[in-house]
């Protein structure tokens, strides 16, 4: 049995953040009914299209395992249908700009009055405060949540990361809020409101940087490479390039083929516990005992030289060979894997983390499957729905409309 079988979700989400949340819940077996504007649908259906007139990968990769209904709750008949859907669903999820659901005529108080057991979950850019009315996209959240100010190199401008920590990260936070509220409802019988602001989600992911902000008051951050280079710290947590966040010096170093392959690099950590193994591996056995190299503190001002020596060794080897040699010696390292390499990696296909999905219009494409594996509740990946593919089916089986009612709603532009 799928873990969330029997849970019905009224999915008012669009773009990326909300859809990642409801897609996760759908993978766990929830019946996710995606409401889309008649004739238009989720804007991502048409964004970054690779094939003309076919739902984009942007849309298909974020809306698996859902059913699509076109419905305009701003029309009279649409509002009635929407009310019935609120009655019949366990959870409602939305990530419109602040106030949009209220303007549709369905503020939280009304939703709660219609169905006191419903869990109403929202993503906003910001929580209550000076920016609460702002519209927010991924990089805005990364910049306002502390990620950009702490990412990049000390001598460069702030940098946003390729991981969608604002959108998909907040979707993940919201999914946890929803299942927590569902668990609470099991005990209390009551629904509740779940809110997650993208800025808050990013701040949660940047926890160690707030830790470092406070440590700065008590002296320099010795594990940041700028300390060893004698560069003074300012007032805020600085950008640390590729320095390891775990308190052990780390760096990205070149491997064989770097001249032509932009991903021929490996992340290498000079973990203190295996310093002896590292010295043997890179051909510097004398560094094990040499004053100035034998202890982590003594090495701080030589980090650049040490990584240059490590790099001279890694440049003679393929990045996978570096990993093969380091792993048995417990030296932490990670080859820089490209999206191409990940797409072709057989073990990721085997676990269902990368899946091939068939689509009647676009043919087979790759997607990311459920990264969370439950031993008793398998999850499969089914293609995303066409716009309004399930409108009639859901209006009959969930809302209880007749063919005549459906025709009238269609005539009125409600669906």
- Neighbouring-strand partners of residue 253: 266
Task: Count CB neighbours of 159 within 10 A.
Answer: 16
Q: Least distance from C-beta 210 to ligand COA, angstroms?
A: 23
| x/- letters, 154..173, toward ligand COA (CB under 6 A) | -------------x------
Q: Is residue 388 near ligand COA by the rule CB under 6 A?
A: no
* Residue 239: CB minimum distance to ligand COA, A: 25
Q: Which of 135, 190, 304, 373 is in the footprint of ligand COA by CB under 6 A?
A: 135
Q: In the window 316-375, what residues touch ligand COA (CB under 6 A)?
A: none
196 binds ligand COA (CB under 6 A): no
Q: What share of the chain is helix, strand, coil (3-state, %, to 5)?
A: 40, 15, 45
272 contacts ligand COA (rule: CB under 6 A): no
Per the annotation, the verdict on 212 as an active-site residue is: no
d(CA 44, CA 57): 9
- In contact, 389 and 403? CB cutoff 8 Å: no
Hey, how many other C-beta atoms are within 10 angstroms of the C-beta on 359?
A: 17
Q: Cα separation of 238 and 152, whole Å? A: 9
The answer to whether residues 57 and 50 touch, using CB atoms and an 8 Å cutoff, is yes
In the complex, least distance from residue 227 CB atom to ligand COA, rounded to whole angstroms: 37
- Torsional sign, CA 56, 58, 64, 69: negative
In the DSSP assignment, the letter for residue 171 is H
Which residue of the set 11, 31, 55, 167 is catalytic? 167
The nearer residue to ligand COA, 11 or 36, going by C-beta atoms, is: 36
Under the criterion CB under 6 A, does residue 222 sit at the interface with ligand COA? no
Cβ–Cβ under 8 Å, residues 150 and 206 = yes
Q: Under the criterion CB under 6 A, does residue 137 sit at the interface with ligand COA? A: yes
* Rounded CA separation 73/59 (Å): 22
Residues within window 44-83 making contact with ligand COA, judged by CB under 6 A: 71-72, 74
Count of positions on this chain that bind ligand COA (CB under 6 A): 24
Nearest residue (CB) to ligand COA, 178 versus 303:
178
- Using CB under 6 A as the binding rule, whether residue 288 contacts ligand COA is answered as no
Verify binding: residue 96, ligand COA, rule CB under 6 A: yes
Stretches 130-138, 293-301, 313-321, 394-402: which one binds ligand COA (CB under 6 A)?
Answer: 130-138
Is 20 a residue that touches ligand COA (CB under 6 A)? no
Task: Look up residue 394 and give its two tokens.
Answer: 């859901």
Nearer to ligand COA, 171 or 332 (CB): 171
Could you identify the residue written with the tokens 């701040």? Answer: 203
Ordered alpha helix ranges (H), 32-158: 57-60, 76-88, 100-103, 108-114, 138-144
- Residue 35 vs 148, nearer CB to ligand COA: 35
How far is it, in rounded angstroms, from Cα 100 to Cα 231?
49
Would you say 168 or 226 has its CB closer to ligand COA?
A: 168
The torsion region of residue 101 among left (phi > 0), alpha (psi -120 to 50) and beta comes to alpha
Can you spell out the DSSP letters for 379-408?
Answer: ----PPPPTTTTHHHHHHHTS---HHHHHH
Site for ligand COA in 101-120 (CB under 6 A): 103-104
Nearer to ligand COA (CB atom), residue 96 or residue 287: 96
CB of 284 to ligand COA, least distance (A): 49
Q: Which of 14, 120, 112, 106 is nearest to 66 (CA)?
A: 14
Active site members: 167
**Site residues for ligand COA per CB under 6 A:** 15-18, 35-37, 71-72, 74, 95-97, 100, 103-104, 123-125, 135-137, 167, 198
């Amino acid at each position: 049995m799928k873990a969330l079988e029997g849970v019905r979700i009224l999915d008012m989400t669009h773009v990326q953040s909300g859809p990642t949340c409801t897609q996760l819940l759908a993978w766990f077996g929830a019946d996710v009914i995606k409401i889309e504007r008649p004739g238009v649908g989720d804007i991502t259906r048409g964004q970054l299209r690779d094939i003309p007139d076919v739902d984009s990968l942007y849309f298909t990769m974020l809306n698996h395992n859902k059913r699509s209904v076109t419905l305009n709750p701003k029309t009279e008949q649409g509002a009635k249908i929407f009310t019935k859907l609120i009655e019949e669903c366990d959870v409602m999820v939305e990530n419109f700009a602040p106030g949009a659901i209220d303007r549709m005529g369905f503020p939280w108080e009304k939703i709660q009055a219609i169905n006191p057991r419903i869990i109403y979950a929202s993503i906003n850019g910001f929580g209550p405060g000076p920016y609460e009315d702002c519209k927010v996209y991924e990089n805005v959240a990364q910049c306002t949540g502390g990620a950009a100010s702490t990412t990049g190199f000390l001598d460069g401008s702030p940098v946003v990361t390729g991981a969608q920590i604002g959108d998909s990260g907040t979707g993940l936070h919201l999914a946890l809020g929803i299942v927590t509220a569902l668990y609470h409802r099991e005990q209390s019988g009551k629904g509740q409101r779940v809110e997650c602001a993208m800025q808050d989600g990013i701040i949660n992911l940047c926890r160690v940087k707030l830790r470092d902000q406070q440590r700065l008051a008590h002296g320099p951050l010795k594990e940041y490479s700028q300390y060893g280079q004698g560069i003074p710290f300012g007032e805020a947590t600085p950008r640390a390039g590729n320095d390891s966040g775990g308190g052990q010096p780390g760096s990205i170093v070149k491997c064989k083929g770097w001249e032509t392959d932009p991903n021929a690099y490996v992340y290498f950590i000079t973990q203190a516990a295996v310093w002896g193994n590292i010295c043997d591996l890179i051909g510097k056995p004398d560094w094990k005992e040499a004053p100035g190299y034998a202890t982590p503190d003594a090495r701080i001002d030589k980090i650049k030289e040490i990584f240059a020596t490590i790099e001279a060794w890694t440049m003679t080897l393929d990045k996978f060979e570096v990993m093969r040699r380091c792993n048995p010696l417990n030296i932490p390292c990670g080859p820089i894997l490209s999206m191409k390499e990940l797409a072709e990696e057989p073990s990721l296909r085997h676990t269902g983390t990368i899946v091939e999905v068939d689509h009647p219009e676009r043919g087979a494409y790759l997607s990311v499957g459920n990264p969370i594996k439950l031993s008793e509740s398998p999850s499969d990946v089914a293609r995303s729905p066409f716009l309004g593919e399930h409108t009639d089916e859901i209006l009959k089986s969930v809302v209880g409309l007749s063919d005549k009612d459906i025709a009238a709603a269609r005539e009125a532009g409600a669906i």
